[in-house]
Chains A and B, each alone.
Chain A
Amino acid sequence: MSAIAINPVYRVVRFYEAPIGKKAIMALTGVVLFGYVVAHLVGNLQIYGDPQQINKYAALLHNPATSGLLWGARIALLLAVVMHIVASIQLWKLKNDARPVAYVKKDDAAATYASRTMMWSGPIVAAFVIFHVLHLTVGAVVPLQEIAPNEPNVRANVIAGFSNPAISAFYILAIALLCIHLYHGLWSMFQSLGFSHPRYTPKLKKGAAIFAILIAIGNCSIPVAVMVGLVK
């Protein structure tokens, strides 16, 4: 490149205008969201500990002294979700513009189920996340129990929620789709950010599958445990 300075705003616009720029944003926001999924699962698995354990953890997160941190994390996550979704919608629109006339007959040569259904698994998971927040954070679905102000009785709320088979079923469906979404997303983010190597990429794909399945098992175990009465 020449030493002619390019306006930084134009530089960002040019980066984001390119599909590769949007994919890079999707990969980076995907990392943030994946990190949250892991942290959320680690938090949730505390339900298997001492009956007070998960409520203590909730009280720690809701501690008014650190509410700035909680809201900072919430805003960062919301921003990541919005950027991930906006970029995906723009790329989806580009895809439709790029092939206005469909094939009469089209076969798949190598596409995995996960890769072909990202635009289905994504929105369903997003719809579930909205429901999940309304259910267990806002308390708009069923009234939430509290031990004290800023000390939600998470254990009781989880058990009450998952005792409802419809809520458990939606949860398990969403987790299954999340697992499929994560499988493609986890290895694909490396490709989008420019890393591919004949030695490591096949291992990355396997690792992504293992990670996605472990996350699904961990999450699905909770409604199952509630329904069969292991967590009371």
Chain B
Amino acid sequence: MKIILHIWRQRNCKDKGKMTRYEVPNVNQEMSFLEMLDVLNEDLILKNEEPVAFDHDCREGICGTCGCMVNGMAHGPLPGTTLCQLHMRHFKEGDELYLEPWRAAAFPVVKDLVVDRSAFDRIIAAGGYISVATGSAPDGNAVLVPKENAECSMDAAACIGCGACVAMCPNASAALFTGAKIAHLGLLPQGQPERDQRAIAMVAQARQELFGSCTNIGECEAVCPKEIKLEVIARMNGDFIRASLTGR
């Protein structure tokens, strides 16, 4: 089938950038979205044009490296899926697709569809850790974890840090990402010692990175490839407010 692509082309972070139209005539429906871009790029290279830069690594939906906006939806139209796991069978002959990089002040465009997501790393560095005693391995099950907490924590820990939540949010807020990290650690006994400090530090860092504020719209939850729930944002809000009020 034939797919028409409008892709954001931007040479570097200083370039102004613009949308460029491409036609991919021989798209196989078994291809993944990224394979379709690979085919386009091979064609561009043969024509001596600059291939489209896009981020990718594992191509099995677990690393969080890939992703771009497809017709205004982060990771494309299929819910609970990263771009690499989206297959061309979900599109039809002659579809026109607009591909744009994640848009946020905190995610500057590096080139074409590639953005710099180090702001997420700095949020993690601000408090996304626990302190453990090094040395010999602790006994298994020495610290008991309630089953429900383990499940909820694991759900939050599924976050792969792809940035789709920020990209889709009308406020470019990193609330779902930050909330997932705070919930993931804060639900476990090992995360308790730094729980208050973590909420305050990570929220402050997200603000400093110029991510927007959450207005409880739910766009992030709808496009999250790991289907992380808005509940983690409420938990972050609760932890932050409690830490602010009760800190000594």
Q: In this assembly, does A84 line the interface, its C-beta being within 8 Å of a C-beta of chain B?
A: no
Which chain B positions have C-beta within 8 A of A120? none
Q: Is the CB of B100 within 8 A of A105?
A: yes
The residue of chain B having its C-beta at the shortest distance from the C-beta of A197 within the complex is: B231
Supposing A14-B200, A91-B215, A193-B237 touch, asked if A104 and B171 sit within 8 A by C-beta, the answer is no
Chain B residues 60 to 112 lying within 8 A of chain A, measured CB to CB, are 69, 71-73, 98, 100, 103-106
Question: Is B240 positioned at the interface, with any CB of A under 8 Å from its CB?
Answer: yes
Cα distance, A108 to B218, chains bound together (Å) = 10
Q: Which residues of B contact A19 (CB under 8 A)?
A: 173, 203, 207, 212-214
Within 8 A of A (CB), among B219-248: 219, 221-223, 229-231, 233-244, 247-248
- The interface bits of chain A over 191-207 (1 if a CB of B lies within 8 angstroms of the residue's CB, else 0) are 11111111001000000
Smallest CB–CB gap between A93 and chain B, Å? 10
Shortest distance from the beta carbon of B66 to any chain A beta carbon, whole Å: 18
Pick from B98, B203, B212: contact of A18, CB below 8 A: B203
For chain A, the count of residues having a C-beta within 8 Å of the partner chain is 50
Contact B215 A194 (CB under 8 A): no
Given that A99-B104, A115-B217, A184-B216 are known contacts, is A20 also in contact with B241, CB under 8 Å in the complex? Answer: yes
The DSSP consensus for interface residues of chain B is mixed
B41 at the interface (CB under 8 A from A): no
Contact of A196 among B170, B217, B234, B243 (CB under 8 A): B234
Q: Which residues of chain B have C-beta atoms less than 8 A from A100's C-beta?
A: 105
Min distance, Cβ B211 to any Cβ of chain A, angstroms = 6
Q: With contacts A98-B211, A107-B71, A107-B72 known, is A18 near B204, CB below 8 A?
A: yes
Q: Are B238 and A195 in contact (CB under 8 A)?
A: yes
Q: A107-B72, A194-B234 are in contact. Are A116 and B221 (CB under 8 A)?
A: no
Q: Is the CB of B212 within 8 A of A98?
A: yes
Q: Chain B contact residues (Cβ within 8 angstroms of A): what range?
A: 35 or more
Q: Is B197 an interface residue (CB 8 A)?
A: yes
Residue of A at shortest CB range from B247?
A1
Q: What residue of chain B has the Cβ atom nearest to residue A187's Cβ?
A: B216
CA distance A101 to B100 in the complex (A): 11
Q: Does A5 contact B (CB under 8 A)?
A: yes
Residues of chain A contacted by B221 (CB below 8 angstroms):
110
Interface residues of A in 132-152 (CB under 8 A from B): none
B16 to chain A, nearest CB (A): 10
Pairwise interchain contact A191-B216, C-beta atoms closer than 8 A: yes
Q: Which residue in A6, A14, A196 is a CB contact (below 8 Å) of B231?
A: A196
CB of B213 within 8 A of CB of A116, answer: no
In the complex, B172 has a CB within 8 A of chain A: yes
Q: How far, in whole Å, are A18 and B213 apart by their CA atoms in the complex? A: 9
A99 touches B103 (CB 8 A): yes
Known A97-B105, A98-B104, A191-B216; judge A109-B210 contact (CB<8 A). Answer: no
Q: How far is the CA of A209 from the CA of B30 in the complex (A)?
A: 44
Is A116 a contact of B100 with CB atoms below 8 Å?
no
Interchain nearest-CB distance for A217 vs B (Å): 25
A19, A20, A115: most-surrounded residue (chain B CB, <10 A): A20
Contact A94 B213 (CB under 8 A): yes
Contacts of B173 in A (CB 8 A): 19, 98
Determine whether the beta carbon of B216 is less than 8 Å from that of A192: yes
Indicate if the CB atoms of B72 and A105 lie closer than 8 Å. yes
A residues at B contact (CB < 8 Å): 1, 3, 5-6, 11, 14-15, 17-24, 91, 94-95, 97-112, 115-116, 118, 184, 187-188, 190-198, 201
4 further A-B contacts with Cβ under 8 Å, apart from A104-B6, A196-B231, are A18-B204, A103-B72, A106-B69, A194-B237
Q: Which 6 A-B pairs have the closest CB atoms?
A: A194-B238, A196-B234, A19-B213, A107-B72, A98-B212, A109-B222
Chain B: residues with CB nearer than 8 A to chain A? 6, 8, 19, 69, 71-73, 98, 100, 103-106, 168, 170-173, 196-197, 200, 203-204, 207, 210-219, 221-223, 229-231, 233-244, 247-248
